[in-house]
Structure 1
Amino acid sequence: MASLTQRLLSLTVILGAVQISGYSFKNCIADPYSNGKSFNCIRRKEKSMSAIINDLPQSVINLTISINPLWDIPNSSFVHLSRLQNLRIDHNHVQIIAEFAFKDLHQLKSLNLSFNNISELSHSVFKDLHNLTFLSLTNNKLKQLPVGIFSSLFNLDTLIVRQNFMKDFSGIAESVSHLSNLKKLDLCFNNLTSLSHSNVSLPKSLTVLYVCKNNLLKLGCNYSFLRYIETLDLSYNYRLNTMAFQGVDLGKINYLRLRSTSVKVVEFLNISNIKASHVDFSGTGLRNDSLLMVLCRSLKKKLRWIQNLNLNNNKIKNLTNYTLYYCPNITGAVNVSNNELKTTNCLNFLHNQTNIKSFSAEHNHITSLKSCKTQNMVYFQNLEELSYRYNRILYVDSYAFYHTPNIKTLKLNINTIAFLSRKAFNGLERLQTLRLDNNLLTDLFNETFEDNVNLQILNLRNNRISVIFNGTFHTLGRLTTLDLGGNKITHFQPSGLDGLKSLSKFYLDGNNLKQIDTSFYHVFQDTLTVLDLQSNKISFLNENISSPFINLTKLHDLKLDGQQPYGLTVLPHTLFRGLHSLKSLYLTNNNIFHIAPEVFDDLIGLRFLSLDNCCVGVANLQPGIFKNLRNLTKLTAENMGIQNFSKEVFGNLTQLHTLQLNRNVMQSIHIDALESLPKLRYLDLRNIPLSCTCQNSLLQNWTLQNPNVQIVYLYNLSCQHNANLKFYNFDTKVCYIDLGKYLFISTAVVIFLFTVIPLLYVKLYWNLKYSYYVFRSWFSEQWLKIREEEENCKYDAFISYNSSDEQWVMDQLLPNLEGNGSSFKLCLHHRDFELGRDIVDNIVSAVYSSRKTICVVSRNFLQSEWCSLEIQLASYRLFNEHRDVLLPLFLESISERQLSSYHRMRKVMLKKTYLQWPGSDCTNPKQAQDLFWNQLRRAMRTGSQVRTEESDKSEYCVATESEKNEHFETSDENYYLLP
């Protein structure tokens, strides 16, 4: 309770001095690494734009508002976000955009309004967007563009208006005619019937024009209208015919798509001034040899060579040796994808095109790749890339690529290859990338990749491989990436991974491995950086195992998430031993029963740790479990069943930037744990049953007042007991009484005490101390005992003296009062105090057990606290009980000025006659000392005040006149004399 009060006081003082605000937003999430410049407002339920963005800071530069039920954008919606440069309002239900919706967005460069229901725009809606370079209106319901709508967009570079209902190209051309920086205009998927226009022209800067998937019947434009266009897409205008291009200048076009039109390409080439090599012949109906040969002859008349020949999507079923015989020399790529080919016959149809560098036959009906090692084989020495993806290939025969010995990239993925000959890749010594993923391979042998000594990337993902045999990769010393994920691998034979001396990335996810192979740490100890073991069947029976990663000193990415069927139920405390360089660790979706506190001790370089859904039921994280993860920047711990978020567990994560705790079960969070994370900037507490009680009052203040940490959707967090109440504003008044009044009273009390205590200390220190001891003695039985024995005193006198005067007491006082015929019994500290008894009780007992108290006063006596206590007790009996028990005895001359600091002693001197020990400077010291002892014995016997007679004065030593003046005192009551 005391600590709670202190924190409330400190918090109030801080808030009184500086007014700050929290860093949480109702409907948006700040990118945790953007320093408050990028925000995403996605999948919210708000229909109002202001409700979504009104609490965003002015620093926003990038803003995404997507997949929301927004239906309009009101005027001045973004005036408080004047620094915006990139704005996305796509995939909403926006129908209306007010005339001044984008007012004051002078720095905006990119605006995406795609996938909405916009059917109409104001002519001045983009008026303030002077720096806009990108505008997308894709997939709306626009039928036309208002005149002058782009009049102020002088810097617009890209305009996309595809998938609308535009019919009037003339209006579009007029709208963009003044945009001197426009380079790309996309009008695909509209209802344009022609490119007819009035007396306007397209900007000279416009080089890319897409008019695909419209209803073009003709172009309808003048000769020079397209003279600056370099890329023109007219595909899927089914009714566009050849004659539409007559009288149109296409001289600058370097890429033209005519797929799925009615254009006859040979006739088109004859009537157009376009360069034949710049036409994409995909989807132009060239389905047989005769049509292809006519095309080739036509091309050869115009060109000596052609860089790329695209023949995809032409429904070609067969390619003979004469198909491309009459074509010009092809120096780049031949693409026959998306046709109906069943074989490529070792590329014999390209027998006179041996200079090609790339060949692609994807999306065909090819069922096999047969051996190409024959006597009359044509070799393609320049071919570097070969792709047969998306076919129906069942097997690959020996020497299937013998005719392409220099290829660097071979893509056979996404087929049905079940049989791969051991010598299928023989001769491919320069091969660098091999894709065999998504097939039906079951076995790999040591001859399979024997010749591929320069292979760097091998992808075998999603096959049916179950065992990696010895020597499978023994020649792949330069391989850096090996992907074996999605297979059925159960184990590796002892030397199955030998030879992989340069392997950096190894993917084994989705297999049937039951243990981590020990060959990892002696094969990859100096090279491996990424190891993916997720979704296997790895488990451990006990916590005491040797680490399989002990020598993987360069590993920085390790995935162990989602082990089947029950996960890593036991996590050995030595599992990650030696992984000092690890940066990312994934343990998601495991059912770990217990995580030992030392399990992460070696991961001193870890930056990212994922523990989502990794525990069974409630996670009991031990204190110190993250003690060495001082470099961790992101921790995801969703749905772990964490009950207590404490400083002992999370306090060492001093570099933590992002923390995701959603879907856990803690009902409260102590802010000292959060305050121990100085670099924290992003905290996700969604779906946590936080209680709206005083236990979380400090947490509520912290979430609202912390200016650095973003609490994700804080204003939507509900109270545990009532979903209609929100955590951020639950009533905390009952947690503390009027804080202002409390602070006033506390301050007043503190000031009063600071004023009074020093005064009491100076004036009443010994009174209070004495009263305390008297009260304690009175309260005890000892007090009563002393009172009863008071009349029958045990001692004649208690001697109070300082230890520095002990020699005088033992040599002078003791012999003269207890010896030399005297019968007095004295009480001395060292001789008569009871051993083991409290010293104060001994002093009280001595004073009250003695008829007299003799105080041997010296300068040392006055400075002793215990001597002061003894004279206090004796003077109490003198003044308060009216008992004549005190005999002051001065060993040396002490002036009143020196006694002024000891008010109790001065008061005694004013009331009592005291004795002065005659020093050696007296004229007759022996006689003076004898008289001193007689006077002292008489005072002890009679119990009356010691009064010096006139006759005694003559026998004492004579003092100087100044000394006499110093030792005589007068008062209203008595006349006192020092002997």
Structure 2
Amino acid sequence: MFFSPSSNCVFLSFHWKMPRNGCLCPSLIITFSLAVFFQSQMIIRSLNPCLEVIPGITYKCMELNLSAIPPDIPNSAQSLDLSFNPLGILTSNYFSPLFALKFLDLTRCNIQNIEDNAFAGLCNLSVLILTANPLHFLGARAFHDLTSLKRLVAVQTELYSLDNLPIGQLTSLQELNLGNNYIDSLKLPEYFSHLLFLKFLNLQANKISSISVGDLDALSSQNLTLVLSKNDIKHIEVNAIAGLHLQKLSLRGCFESSTIMQASLQNLTGLYANSLVLGDYRNIKKLQTFSKGILDALCHMRLQEITLICTNGDVDNTDDLSLCLNNFSTIRLVDTYIKDVSNFPENSSIRHLEFKDSRFRQVPSVRLSSLKELRSLHITRTKQLVEFEEDFQGLQKLETLDLSQNALTADLCWLCLRKGVPNLKYLNLSFNVRISLEPECYGLPKLEMMDLQHTTLSGAGELPVFLCLPNLIYLDISHTHTNIQSECTFCGLKSLQVLKMAGNTFENNQLLNTLKNLSSLRILDISNCRLQYLSLNSLASLHELRELNISHNKLLGLHPEAYVHLQALTILDFHSNQLSVLTEKDLQNLPSSLKNLDLSQNLFDCSCDNLHFLQWAKENRNLLRHVENMICHSPKHLRDARLMNFDLASCRVSTATVAISMSISVVLVLSLILVYKYYFHLYYLAVLLGGRRRSAEEDSVYDAFVIYSSRDQEWVRRELEETLEMGVPSFRLCFFYRDFIPGVPVITNIIKQGFQSSRKVITVVSSHFLESRWCNFELEVAQSWQLLDSKASMIWVVLDGTDKAVLQRKLGLFRYLRRNTYLVWKDSELNRHIFLRQLRSALLNG
């Protein structure tokens, strides 16, 4: 800023406030707070190492080197997995704070002692797993309070005797698994008579070598499943199991020779059991030979089902088996070497026949046609089975045909099946090589379920191959390399309720009107079908649909308008698509019947623009499934963060924040206005303060800097410049018109050349001075300079004729002159002499 010499007065008024000592910088406070926060989070994480699967309910704490229960596990927890932690000893009331527990896994926790009342308070516990703990001591009341326990697993716990297991008070126990221990006797202690609900007793791989009369007398439960497999049984006493009604008896790998096995089975005469399991394990072959007579003792047992596993290659035809097998309703032959089937007797009682892991090359349809009572036929997991000729003859009662997990390549003949098995209801051809279907009009009218998954399906998708299956309820063609091209693909399936076709494709990756004929459909799986577009009418006819799986596609939006007709929909699986957000309209149009919605593994946008959806997701957590897998994809700084952990408050501006922001905005606006109006004065302040810091280091060049009105310049030159500079002593005065440096801002000249380089300031007050705005401005600058620099001194000269009324109106100057001595100039020789003497004296002072 520059001003002209005719206006040689400058004004500045300011207040200077120094910052308080010791005041913390805001950025330092923020940094310190963040450091404290992250440190506290790390401490909390170190105290909370467990995985919270379901908040407040399910916790997994495996392999964390814990020696006690983590203190952060809430008392609402219902499932706790502490496996692979060195707990050592379970003392009294060890788990009492977790009174809501229903499931507790203590596998491999090196537990050696369980003291009395260790599980006190766990009245709701249903499952307790103690697998692989060296239980050397069990208190008599070790399992006290476990009144609801239904399943106890104590596998590989170095248990030597059933008498050492204090479980008599577990009256709700249904399953007891004591496999892989050192129990050498089947003699059940008296406390077993209190286990009224026991349904499963597993003593597999112990040291039991004999079964005697009376060993099982304490069993009060009927229909018990008793597993004695992998015990080296050498002798079974006659009538040892007489009177018992077992659900299942498993004796796999129990006999080291055919002789012992035959003798033992003979002594089981009179056995009542729904199921008997005999044979070896693939990796443990005790029986070196297998003869037809070994199983003759089965004729004297009352069995419903017999399972024979692994006969070591001695059986390659059903003729090698005992005729007694024809007396049983269910025959299961697993891992045998049977290659062919002989004709069964006309009076055979077999209703359910299963061959698993056999050596068939083709389905023995004709040979099996003699089983007139056959209801269910399973030939599975036979990799040599490649041919299927549908030449069954008169199996009027066959309802289930399972040929899954083979290597079949066949052209399915609906008419052939209709002639041979007219009442077939369930057909499973899944996990084969290829099945070809033709659009025949002679289907299976009673077929209700058909499974073709993971078998290449020829014909479907292009032709209506299901036309004559009016009663089909369940159809699975998942992963069959089917490309749906025809709108009539599912024509004829008017009763279909379940359709699974995951892993296939639709023409142009669009779902249009393919499903329009399935008005009775209740469950639909079209996941992993590469879908990119879903027409609004594609699901319009599915009024009965309850469950829809449309996951693992490439859909960009949920578009609830497509589901508006699905008033019965309760489960919608939309995970692993490309959904970024549900709009407010989308949320309003979701089916009101919806109870289970899976939106996990989508590309969620967690920005504040989608606050409504983010808030809805948190409020409807019970509706959503797998929320732990709802991960933010954008914005970049939130990528891979859990959506449920999003801080909604970060998007909401509080009232205080609004008030502060508005206040700051107002202050900024006012500041800008003031700066614009007084920018000259602010610039002067900067120069003034800068000049003050350097003034102490510089010597005074002038004796006085003269402030006056330009209209009094003649008087100043005559009475001050000529008199003082040419007189004795000689004074050097600073005048703007003479001593200011050209090209330099006026403010800088006033400070540097005027105030900063002068010992004194002479102010010439006149009527012209009082009337000039610039002179008043320069006067206040001089007063400001005097306040900043204690060495500065002002000499006031009031000219004769100055209007005192005007002087009084200038209250600041008038009050100053009333409190301080000043010089008065009068135009007379005597007064002039006195004035000059006083002025020189004032200039010489200091």
The TM-score range, normalised by the shorter chain, is 0.5 to 0.7
8 Å contact kept, 2:126–2:151: yes
Task: Determine which of 96, 116, 120 is the counterpart of 1:80.
Answer: 96
Structure 1 CA distance, aligned partners of 2:219 and 2:645?
63
Task: Determine which of 590, 593, 596 is the counterpart of 1:603.
Answer: 590
Task: Name the amino acid aligned to 2:279.
Answer: R
Task: Determine which of 26, 49, 59 is the counterpart of 1:40.
Answer: 59
Find the counterpart in structure 2 of residue 462 from structure 1: 479
How far did residue 279 of structure 1 move? 3.5
8 Å contact kept, 1:259–1:282: yes
Find the counterpart in structure 1 of residue 21 from structure 2: none
Find the counterpart in structure 2 of residue 237 from structure 1: 254
Find the counterpart in structure 2 of residue 430 from structure 1: 446
* CA 641–674 in structure 1, closer or farther in 2 if over 3 Å, else same: farther
TM-score (structure 2 length as normaliser): 0.60
Structure 1 CA distance, aligned partners of 2:111 and 2:194?
27
* CA 224–105 in structure 1, closer or farther in 2 if over 3 Å, else same: farther
Name the SS for the 1:186 alignment partner: strand
Task: Name the amino acid aligned to 1:514.
Answer: Q
Find the counterpart in structure 2 of residue 511 from structure 1: 529
Structure 1 CA distance, aligned partners of 2:449 and 2:528?
22
Task: Name the amino acid aligned to 1:662.
Answer: R
Name the SS for the 1:601 alignment partner: helix
How far did residue 617 of structure 1 move? 7.0
Find the counterpart in structure 2 of residue 750 from structure 1: none
Name the SS for the 1:242 alignment partner: helix
How far did residue 204 of structure 1 move? 3.4
Task: Name the amino acid aligned to 1:314.
Answer: T
Measured against aligned partners, the alpha-carbon deviations of 1:472-516 in whole angstroms (never above 9, x if no partner) come to: 211111112211111233347976434222223222211233321
Task: Determine which of 330, 348, 351 is the counterpart of 1:328.
Answer: 348
Structure 1 residue 275 and structure 2 residue 302: aligned?
yes
Find the counterpart in structure 1 of residue 841 from structure 2: none
8 Å contact kept, 1:311–1:337: yes
Structure 1 residue 355 and structure 2 residue 335: aligned?
no
Structure 1 CA distance, aligned partners of 2:49 and 2:513?
56
Task: Name the amino acid aligned to 2:399.
Answer: E
Find the counterpart in structure 2 of residue 452 from structure 1: 469
How far did residue 142 of structure 1 move? 1.4
Find the counterpart in structure 1 of residue 706 from structure 2: none
Name the SS for the 1:336 alignment partner: strand
Name the SS for the 1:621 alignment partner: helix
Find the counterpart in structure 1 of residue 382 from structure 2: 364
Find the counterpart in structure 1 of residue 138 from structure 2: 122
Structure 2 CA distance, aligned partners of 1:283 and 1:195?
23
Task: Determine which of 387, 394, 398 is the counterpart of 1:383.
Answer: 398
Structure 2 CA distance, aligned partners of 1:674 and 1:189?
66
Task: Name the amino acid aligned to 2:181.
Answer: F
8 Å contact kept, 2:192–2:220: no
| Number of matched pairs | 589
Name the SS for the 1:117 alignment partner: coil
* CA 213–471 in structure 1, closer or farther in 2 if over 3 Å, else same: same
Structure 1 CA distance, aligned partners of 2:332 and 2:494?
37
Structure 2 CA distance, aligned partners of 1:512 and 1:180?
54
Q: Let me know the Cα RMSD of the aligned residues.
A: 4.4
Task: Name the amino acid aligned to 1:269.
Answer: D
Structure 2 CA distance, aligned partners of 1:70 and 1:505?
47
Aligned ranges 1:151-190 → 2 under 5 Å: 152-153=168-169, 155=171, 157-169=173-185, 173-174=188-189, 179=194, 181=196, 183-184=198-199, 186-190=201-205
* CA 229–613 in structure 1, closer or farther in 2 if over 3 Å, else same: closer
* CA 487–333 in structure 1, closer or farther in 2 if over 3 Å, else same: same
Find the counterpart in structure 2 of residue 292 from structure 1: 319
Aligned ranges 1:234-273 → 2 under 5 Å: 234-239=251-256, 241-248=261-268, 250-260=270-280, 262=287, 266-270=293-297, 273=300
How far did residue 27 of structure 1 move? 6.2
Which sits farther off after the overlay, 205-214 or 335-344? 205-214
Aligned ranges 1:15-54 → 2 under 5 Å: 26=48, 38-43=57-62, 45=64, 47-51=66-70
Structure 2 CA distance, aligned partners of 1:90 and 1:103?
12
Name the SS for the 1:401 alignment partner: helix
8 Å contact kept, 1:535–1:561: yes
Which sits farther off after the overlay, 434-443 or 273-282? 273-282
Aligned ranges 1:826-837 → 2 under 5 Å: none
How far did residue 339 of structure 1 move? 1.1
How far did residue 464 of structure 1 move? 1.0
Task: Determine which of 636, 642, 659 is the counterpart of 1:662.
Answer: 642
Structure 1 CA distance, aligned partners of 2:84 and 2:129?
13
Structure 2 CA distance, aligned partners of 1:271 and 1:537?
59
Structure 1 residue 619 and structure 2 residue 619: aligned?
no
Task: Name the amino acid aligned to 1:520.
Answer: S
Q: Which structure ranks higher in relative contact order (CA pairs < 8 Å, sequence separation ≥ 6)?
A: 2
Find the counterpart in structure 2 of residue 398 from structure 1: 413
* CA 90–413 in structure 1, closer or farther in 2 if over 3 Å, else same: farther
How far did residue 173 of structure 1 move? 3.0
Structure 1 CA distance, aligned partners of 2:207 and 2:87?
28
Structure 1 residue 408 and structure 2 residue 425: aligned?
yes
Task: Determine which of 307, 316, 340 is the counterpart of 1:318.
Answer: 340
Measured against aligned partners, the alpha-carbon deviations of 1:76-117 in whole angstroms (never above 9, x if no partner) come to: 244634855734224343332332252534736634224333
How far did residue 389 of structure 1 move? 0.9
Aligned ranges 1:862-877 → 2 under 5 Å: none
Which sits farther off after the overlay, 531-540 or 79-88? 79-88
Measured against aligned partners, the alpha-carbon deviations of 1:39-71 in whole angstroms (never above 9, x if no partner) come to: 534447251234357x643x66x4433445243
Find the counterpart in structure 2 of residue 848 from structure 1: none
Structure 2 CA distance, aligned partners of 1:356 and 1:89?
44
How far did residue 154 of structure 1 move? 5.8
Task: Name the amino acid aligned to 2:436.
Answer: L
How far did residue 614 of structure 1 move? 3.6
8 Å contact kept, 2:393–2:421: no
How far did residue 309 of structure 1 move? 2.5
8 Å contact kept, 2:438–2:459: no
Name the SS for the 1:600 alignment partner: helix
* CA 270–32 in structure 1, closer or farther in 2 if over 3 Å, else same: closer
* CA 384–271 in structure 1, closer or farther in 2 if over 3 Å, else same: closer
* CA 616–343 in structure 1, closer or farther in 2 if over 3 Å, else same: same
Find the counterpart in structure 2 of residue 561 from structure 1: 575
Name the SS for the 2:366 alignment partner: helix
* CA 538–490 in structure 1, closer or farther in 2 if over 3 Å, else same: farther
Q: More strand per residue: 1 or 2? A: 2
Structure 1 residue 219 and structure 2 residue 235: aligned?
yes
Structure 1 CA distance, aligned partners of 2:524 and 2:387?
29
How far did residue 189 of structure 1 move? 3.8
How far did residue 274 of structure 1 move? 1.6
TM-score (structure 1 length as normaliser): 0.53
Name the SS for the 2:276 alignment partner: strand
8 Å contact kept, 2:117–2:145: no
How far did residue 435 of structure 1 move? 0.4
Name the SS for the 2:319 alignment partner: helix
Task: Name the amino acid aligned to 2:66.
Answer: K
Structure 2 CA distance, aligned partners of 1:359 and 1:342?
16
Q: What fraction of aligned residue pairs are identical, expressed as a percent?
A: 13
Find the counterpart in structure 1 of residue 123 from structure 2: 107
Task: Name the amino acid aligned to 2:476.
Answer: N
Name the SS for the 1:136 alignment partner: strand
Find the counterpart in structure 2 of residue 639 from structure 1: 631
8 Å contact kept, 1:50–1:77: no
Structure 2 CA distance, aligned partners of 1:508 and 1:484?
5
* CA 502–159 in structure 1, closer or farther in 2 if over 3 Å, else same: closer
8 Å contact kept, 1:509–1:535: yes
* CA 109–514 in structure 1, closer or farther in 2 if over 3 Å, else same: closer
Find the counterpart in structure 2 of residue 489 from structure 1: 506
How far did residue 335 of structure 1 move? 1.4
